Every structure is written in structure tokens, then in C-alpha cells.
Amino acid sequence: MHQNSGYGSKLTDLLAGILITPQEVVSPVENAISIGMVIVNTRAEPHLEQEFANRTASELEAMLRFANRNTPLQFIIVTDERTAPVVGHLMSSVIRKKLSQDIIKNVYEKDLGIPPLYFSQVDYRRIKAEKPEFVHTFRNLNGTVGSDKYDEDFFYIAPLYHLAFTSLKKMIVLDCHDLEFHDDISKLAAEFTKMDDSEAVIGIGLDLSLHYRVMLTKYAEVHPDTQLGHPGPLQGLNSGVVLYDLEKMRKSQVYNSYLEPLMAEELLAKYLYRATLAEQDWMTNLGFSYPELFHVLPCHFNAQTSIQYMSNELVDVFDQYHYCDKWENLKIIHLNGCGPGPEHCGNNPNHKSQKYKEGAYFNIGFAINWDMIEKVRTGKMHFIIVDDYED
């Protein structure tokens, strides 16, 4: 079993909610994978919403379960002063549980343990402070501001990570509550090497829906020959799993030019739709304009489950956007949007795509609890709950 020394002090610091500046975050060892998550409690209550906390814990547990023991993991939690101790308690509980389970299991299994783990917590406002004019411009242009969804500054800071984490070279940023790991995160990190000899500064998966096809309706009317929004590499991006090559981002004049307010406004207006998905829309529009800046991850690393756009008039082309691979080949499953039936998304229950009819989109071994689906759709909750079937 891997000997993880020093966890007492690490977990004590986590529980204390100690914050450092993003500039102070350094890679603890040369081969560590830096993993960022944004977790900010916007509720009046001092604790995280319970289902959110449960899903975040499940994501962390699965990530540790599949991680190899030889690659250190550095968790960088983007949060605020009020949330930091709560997140520290959550992560500490997950790690103590895993260590305890491995001690018990080691009686029967020898190849157990977790990799060396490191932790940092930073205030998201320190990231915003690197270019607050970009955040203000972007936030004011977003169509959902004023509602419960994407109504906070931390939804708009992702394009600024390279300006804040100046001592880091690379960082993976993950949705914190709706990802299900089925493989070692080091395989995702290996995608960075595919960016080395290219102009790509960001690695990101496609949005496996027709969202941008629908959003680009006006643009397609003006530009009838456009390939934007069509199935393939220009169908739009999904920011649930993102690889940031921070060094290359800092060096890219094109990338940084679109952080200037006037250029950001131009980018968000260019494709004739109102942004509603925070940084995802900014990245997608930048990818439409400069596809060379983005390495498209294999869909296996961000296989999304939402069937929202399997609607009556789009059902015949839905599979061209959505299907990735057999369930057992998926490495990270992104439990987003709505389902499992068309009727749960407000669509005709009789309109189902061919792959859906074949059972390709939901694993028989899992049941999805959609009790919270209305809250998800209205933006009051941004996750869905997956539970194992019980015999």
C-alpha cells in the first residue's frame, strides 16, 4: 500500500479553509497533474446543498478509485472565504474514507492505495482581479444574468486562468458535481502531449448536442453555406472538462486579444445569438473563429447524457451530434441536461433517435433519478443523480 505521509497536516489545512493567491500555487512535484474545480456556495445557509455535496463527493471518490498510485494529483479549489472550510471538510471526508477502506481491503488485496495528493484553495475574486473589465463585460452580455443561472462572477473567470496561475504550466479544470469517472485521469492529462506541436492552447470536448445548431439559426440564415453548428469539429464546445495549457495561453496574442472588452463584445455578437452558457459560449465562438487554438478531446473524455435536443424536428440528426461510443468505452461521463426519456425534456415521447432505440445512451446497470429535473432545467440545480440499482 502506498505510504501517504503528511496527510494529517494537509487535511488540517483543508479543514481550516486556508486560502492562498493563485500566483502562489505551484506544482508540488514535476509530474503532478493539476486539477481545478470551482466550488462556491451561493446559498444563504453555511453548508453546501446536500445533493450537490453528494455528487461532488461521488466524483472525487471515483476519480481516486481509478487513479494510478504513481501520478501525484494536485487539487486546486477555486472558491471563496466562506466556502473554503466547507469544501475542505468535504474533500477531507472523501480522502479519510478512501484511506480507511484501503486499510481494510489491504487484508485481501495488495495493490491498493491512493496517489500522493496535494491541495490548494484560492479565492475566485483574485482570478477576476486579473482582468475585471473582461468579467464585467462578459457577464453583462450573458442572457441569463438576473436569473438563478450563471448569475455570479465566477462563471466568467475561466478565460483568465493563465493570468492568475502564473506559476503553473498546465491545469485541467473539471465540473465539480456531474462527472462520473470510469478511467484514470492520467489518460486525460496525456492529451496535453497532443497539443505540444500545435497552436492549440486549450483542449476541450465537443458539445454533444444540437445546442449551437439551434443557437446559430440566425447566423445560418445570413450565411447559408456555413459549416458552423453542423455535426463534426465545428458543432460547438462543452466546458465540463477542459485542459488549459497556461504557458501557451500566456504567449498567444490572438487568444489574449479577445480578453479586451471591445473584442469580447465583438466575439460574443459575431454569431448572432445571445450567450447563455457563460465561458462555454466564449470558447465556442473563439473556436468558430480560430479552430487552431483548440484541441478537440476525444468524446470519451466528456460523454454527455442530455437528450434535450432529441426533439421532434431534430430527432433524425440527433445521433450525428450525440453518439460517442459504447458505454463501456467511455472514460468520463458528463451527467448533464435532461432525460432519460424525451418526455422528461418536454418532447414527444414517441420521437426517439435510432441509437436511443438501440439503448446506446444509458447503461443498463444504472438508474437515473430525475426528481430534480425541473430544478436543473430552470437553473436552480445543475446536476442529476445517479444511483446503482439495488437487487
pLDDT, tens digit (0-9, with 9 covering 90-100), for 311-355: 878 999 999 999 999 999 999 999 998 988 999 999 999 999 999
Is the pLDDT at 147 greater than 50? The verdict is: yes
Distance from C-alpha of 44 to C-alpha of 84, rounded to nearest angstrom: 15
Whole-prediction pTM value?
0.89
Altogether, the residues listed in the chain come to a count of 391
Helix (H) or strand (E) holding 311: none
> Rounded distance, CA 376 to CA 378, Å?
6
**Residue-level pLDDT at 108:** 55
Share the mean pLDDT of the chain. Answer: 88
Residue 378 is predicted with a pLDDT of: 47
Residue 264 C-alpha cell reads as 469580447
Binned at pLDDT 50, 70 and 90, residue 93 comes out as very high
Q: Is a pLDDT exceeding 90 seen at residue 380? A: no
DSSP codes joined into one string, 130-160: TSHHHHHHHHHH-TTBTBSTT-SGGGG-GGG
Q: What is the mean pLDDT of residues 181-196?
A: 98
107-144 pLDDT per residue, tens: 555 556 789 999 999 999 999 999 999 999 999 988 76
Query: Is 92's pLDDT higher than 90?
Result: yes
| Beta pairing class for 202-206 and 237-245 | antiparallel
DSSP 73-130: EEEEEEE-TTTHHHHHHHHHHHHHHHHHHHHHHTTT-SS-----EEEEEEEHHHHHTT
Where is 2: in which H helix or E strand? none
Question: What are the two backbone dihedrals, phi and then psi, of residue 31, each rounded to the nearest 5 degrees?
Answer: -100, 15
Mean pLDDT of 165-192: 97
**Mean per-residue pLDDT for 53-57?**
95
